[in-house]
Amino acid sequence: MRLISTLNGQASWPPPTWLMRQAGRYLPEYRATRAQAGDFISLCLNPALAEEVTLQPIRKFGFDAAILFSDILILPMALGQGLRFAEGEGPRLPPLETLSSLSLSAAPGIYAPVLETVSRLRASLPRETALIGFAGSPATVACYMLDGQGGGDFPRTRRLAYEDPGFVDGLMEIMVEATIGYLSGQVEAGANCLMLFESWAGIFAPQIFRRLVISPTKRIVSALKSRHPHVKLIGFPRLAGLMLAEYVHETGIDAVGLDTTTDLQAAQAACPPGTIFQGNLDPLLLKLGGPAMEEAVARILDSVKGHPHIFNLGHGITPDVPEANVARLMELIRAA
């Protein structure tokens, strides 16, 4: 598997490629499968349909890796917090008031269908295609749990991190333990590597970033590597800015995803020698296509030649991306 070789520090050319949200609304077959499921949560928890939407972009574009189709909020739902997806508005949860409402013991039974999806995928994917399992990192998931919805800058979460650190740290303890169990289950079910999505890393001041982003991630990585010494982890601390190098150095992750705003060469200079990077093509360029996309792809490829690198976006594919542009992207990478 080219992706796993890269995560082991071997440079390959062209670089292995997959795209965040590569299974999604830009594909008509995804939209048809979601309609069949009835709603988004039902799709995530239906192993046959979740397997199908995970495989769709692999069949169409031949990416080097498939990423499990699920959602970072399945875990808080499994812990007992209500979850619904409002059409056109994103996720909605009742803002968490007490930690006693969460149940670690009940969670595995609720997310069991996700692990079944992983098992089905590993059996159905081509042998050379890596399967990526994932979870949201505790701080990002806590943002939704405490504020009750996405978007904005999560004012309640940031306020509570200062005003009620015991409550927030207690939530981090629960989420670290739950995330370790969830990801360990994905490895045991057949995931070849894992990704931790810290989508809202950029909202935290440095001292809070260290406490809520770096420390929990370090504990998760350490525990998973203790249980599964072979497993490789990709971290994605979106909008971490100048905290990126500290995140890489302290957490022990094996590779780091770069968001759209991060300069690749600056990240190479700031992070520890040998850091493996993933990303960071602007998803807007994938929508636009044409010379702007092609020039940006060429710049990234020129910057990473001779280094272990995973080609990806700086955030997920948007629903308005033409399929033809994804096909063209893969042509450019393969012809490099």
Query: Catalytic site residue 34?
Result: yes
Buried b (16+ CB within 10 A) or exposed e, 197-220: bbbbbbbbeeebbebbbbbbbbbb
- Taken in order 3, 181, 106, 116, the sign of the CA dihedral is positive
Q: Which of 71, 254, 259, 282 is catalytic?
A: 71
Number of other residues whose CB lies within 10 A of the CB of residue 150: 17
Q: Which of 2, 21, 158, 219 is catalytic?
A: 21
First-last CA distance in the chain: 19
Q: Which of 26, 30, 111, 144 is catalytic?
A: 144
d(CA 50, CA 53): 5
Query: Catalytic site residue 182?
Result: no
Query: Catalytic site residue 71?
Result: yes
Whether the CB-CB separation of 266 and 239 falls below 8 Å is answered with no
| Upstream peptide bond of 113 is cis (omega within 30 degrees of 0) | no
Q: Single out the residue of 2, 99, 122 nearest to residue 51, CA to CA.
A: 122
Going by the DSSP 8-state scheme, the letter that residue 143 receives in this structure is: H
Residues in a beta bridge with 130 = 65
Query: Catalytic site residue 21?
Result: yes
Whether the CB-CB separation of 16 and 310 falls below 8 Å is answered with yes
Query: Catalytic site residue 26?
Result: no
Q: What are phi and psi of 137, to 5 degrees?
A: -70, 155
CA atoms within 13 A on the CB side of 204: 26
Catalytic residues: 21, 25, 34, 71, 144
